[in-house]
Amino acid sequence: MIKPVLAALMFAASAPLALAASDDELRAAIVGAWGQDSTCTSGTLTFSADGTFALARGEDSDTGTWQISGGVLSGATSDGASRPDVNLTIEGDTLVFGEMEETLTRCAP
């Protein structure tokens, strides 16, 4: 009798971990600088809490706005060009974009 109850409790306790993050949680978690690895030496994509972003890679740079709705990241560059919408997940210090699972890592402080 104890084993089935224990198994049920373990399942119930792990269920919230499997749920997708809310848009508010994603908005809070995305804020900061991200790069190809934690050193961010090859460039950064920085999301600010005010809904703006900045991309810096070598001599290339870009700025714009972003938003998250329904777990989908969308945005536009400062010249008005829209960026493709992508599904978004954040797992610890890893940002995962879309079905192709392109990833960025949070830059080390």
pLDDT in tens, 48-101: 999 999 999 988 999 999 999 999 999 999 999 999 999 999 999 999 988 778
Is 109 or 74 the better-scoring residue by pLDDT? 74
Residue 2 lies in a domain: no
Q: What is the pTM of this model?
A: 0.79
Q: What is the domain-level CATH number for residue 95?
A: 2.40.128.640
Task: Quote the number of domains for the chain.
Answer: 1
Domain coverage including residue 36: 20-106
> DSSP 3-state assignment of 35?
strand
Residue 102 lies in a domain: yes
Q: What is d(CA 67, CA 86) in angstroms, rounded to the nearest whole number?
A: 11
Residue 62 lies in a domain: yes
User: Is 86 in contact with 98 (CB distance < 8 Å)?
Assistant: yes
Residue 14 lies in a domain: no
Residue 4 lies in a domain: no
Q: pLDDT tens-digit profile of 6-28?
A: 333 333 333 333 356 899 999 99
Residue 90 lies in a domain: yes
